[in-house]
Amino acid sequence: MHASANEPALLLIELGLIVVGLATLGRLAHRFGFSTIPLYLVAGLAFGRGGLAPVESSHEFVRVGGEIGVLLLLFMLGLETPADQLASRMRHTIPAGLADLGLNFLPGFAAALLMGWGAPTAALLGGVTWVTSSGVAAKVLSESGRLNAPETPVVLAILVMEDLAMAVFLPLATWGLSGGAAAGGPLRLLGTLAVVAVALFLAFRSRGLAARLMSHRSDEVVMFTALGLMLLVAGVAQRFQVSAAVGAFVLGLSLSGPMAQRAEGLLGPLRDLFAAMFFLFFGLQIDPTTLRPVLLPAAGLCAVTTLTKLATGWIGARAAGLDRAAGWRAGAALVARGEFSIALAGLGLASGARPELGTLAAAYVLLTAIVGPLLARRG
């Protein structure tokens, strides 16, 4: 009874220390002019499983806050992106999307085969090395002040193509891991493709509907409506096997004009808080003691796929008629892997893949999530 009575106090103390700690890391980052993302990730490592002082009472709160943080990052990225400009860039960025698949899937696939993991698990590791973290990329663009840079629509087009490709890749991966015996695999794949098509149609054809739903003279009502709609759309997207982040981004695209600017101003502080929770929780999930045996292959994959992501951004920017500098900046924004990579590794482990897949994916994602923001800052 006494321990139970202390739980609310412990929760508040842990949350207070976490938020003050994040503020301190933010001060350090701004003082020395580098990204906050690596600092948040390392803080998560220090206070997660196997770390210096694992947090327990606030773990679930940080997890949920992290999920909301990714959605807010992508929703507000959509607010900043003109839908017609994104559609145009997506048409011109198809060669970069194909290059992205070839350049970044093959290193992970080949590495797994060399380690004797078999084709289904190799395909999962290929997915891990292929897909950029939308959450980290959005934070990098916001933090570096490049939301209106000429290469940003190219980056967003590649991110959207990757996320939509994941909507197809995940059911196929599940089907492959089950030996082709997953019930309703082809039907589920067709359903996923249909949902993706409808989502894109709504994003580009219903730009006034969401604004009318949110419109009100009270800032409080606008904020609650925007946040509630974002969570609802993301949840529905996730239910239909489409990335929740894609759902949030699509909703942001559907807003325009004064309402988009108003929603951005109201939700900006919430985005900053919960985005920090996302990066912190990402580090909390990784046990530092499991990383040492896989650091060498993870570092090798990080080095190779950093170069291939830089090449992807360069190809996309050049196809859009931008200069070399814009190409390298676009590539740097794409380097970090994150939530999808961890989800793919988790899918493999749940289906009986080798346990080394999880630790290798964790080490690889951590390295790219540190290297990516640092490269983008240099760029």
- With b for 16 or more beta-carbon neighbours within 10 A and e for fewer, the 59-88 pattern comes to bebbeebbbbbbbbbbbbbbbbbebeebee
Rg of the Cα trace of the chain? 20
Domain count, the chain: 1
Q: Which residues are CB-contacts of 20 (< 8 A; sequence separation ≥ 6)?
A: none
d(C-alpha 207, C-alpha 244), whole Å: 20
- Among 91-105, 190-204, 249-263, the range of highest mean pLDDT: 91-105
DSSP-based three-state secondary structure for 149: coil
Would residue 51 count as lying in a domain?
Answer: no
Would residue 82 count as lying in a domain?
Answer: yes
d(C-alpha 284, C-alpha 18), whole Å: 12
Would residue 21 count as lying in a domain?
Answer: no
pLDDT digits (tens, 9 = 90+) for 73-117: 878 877 776 666 666 666 777 888 889 999 999 999 999 999 888
Would residue 108 count as lying in a domain?
Answer: yes
Would residue 117 count as lying in a domain?
Answer: yes
Would residue 272 count as lying in a domain?
Answer: no
Cα 352 off chain centre by:
25
Would residue 84 count as lying in a domain?
Answer: yes
Backbone angles phi, psi at 102, to 5 degrees: -65, -45
Query: The domain spanning residue 220 has which CATH number?
Result: 1.20.1530.20
Would residue 277 count as lying in a domain?
Answer: no
Q: What is the pTM of this model?
A: 0.70
- State the average pLDDT for the chain: 80
Cα 168 off chain centre by:
17
pLDDT digits (tens, 9 = 90+) for 284-337: 877 777 788 889 999 999 999 999 999 999 999 888 888 888 899 999 999 988
Q: Which domain holds residue 319?
A: 75-267+291-378
